[in-house]
Structure 1
């Protein structure tokens, strides 16, 4: 069968009816999550519709300024989302580290991927630039969110152990090395698990979308491999920057723990 199957009104209504069925099951089972499901569904729908119209305009009016503005908005929203999703109190200095790590790590990875791997001409073509940026920034945001939570929790729980190490002559870096390592592992593990199961346990979203749109499976696989390697690099780089700079925010100039 050639061509793309168009999803009409009936098919879209059927998709939402599936969510209605889910709400019924959740209510019958007494799981009080109806509000979250409804809000997330409505929010997702409105955001994607708005994004669709914005992308149509950007694709029809290729402009470097427009593309850069979109990236700036994505970076700001991702950093804001990390702050908002954190269930722990983040210090002002740690927030600065998060922002610096996100911007530096994702932009470096994005520029390398756009100019070297995909070799887009012009480099600011939104049809490629924006989706790739979204995947790199989105996954890096999740990685730093997990890493920040683990780092703050580690310092709070293991405060006595760190102080004992400092009194015995250990440097701040050595005293909290295990916390930094655990934070990095927690941040990178979801990406690694996703890569391990990819192709056997599940087909990733981008690859599935390309195949459904009529792209050759082999070409879709090439893009997916490149994207996953880019995501792995972006997440790793941003989290490394975060943990290596972040732990320093827990010590003062006299190398004393300040929490």
Structure 2
């Protein structure tokens, strides 16, 4: 009887380990990026909850108070002054896309002149129908990025929200990003959605443009998508049927 119980315990542990290993290839979405564009800025999930779902990702702090970057299971928010801060476990996000990052493809790069050139390069190694997480460690000639000014109710659509733009030159850091097929942009947009944080974890934001001297791209293709929908009361004031117009 004891031996049988021991065998069952081992089998349960193996099944659990198998399930956990399969979960590594899931992108989790907390809310919909389309909801942000229409003015849903309330917090829908805590940092503590997101940490159970992935160690890599991006999103936005509640009230658009900061651009979210998740790197090596550390959560950073970068507000409109561009100064990054580590987030606390009970801090809330209005949107996030997260994954347990394990690259399928690695590529060294040099002399990327702008964001369009980066997109063109990525489009040669990422299939147009793939949902993928993208990490880029690089030395940048320039990086242009932005964060939004913190919002209060009543919220406005994101294209009416003030954004603060920054430009940095000769800086080293990491791009955290996702590729989403255009037909699924309600989940995460634009197609290539990138956030940046410097190697000292002091500054960054949502990338508008960049030029890369040299670096390394890592791509992790997902096998599953899981969506945590916002509560009904969070989206009653917006219209998710409107066409998406990313800012």
Using the size of structure 1 for normalisation, the TM-score is 0.21
Between Structure 1 and Structure 2, the one with more strand by share is: 2
Between Structure 1 and Structure 2, the one with more helix by share is: 1
Larger radius of gyration: 1
Higher relative contact order (CA closer than 8 Å, sequence separation 6+): 2
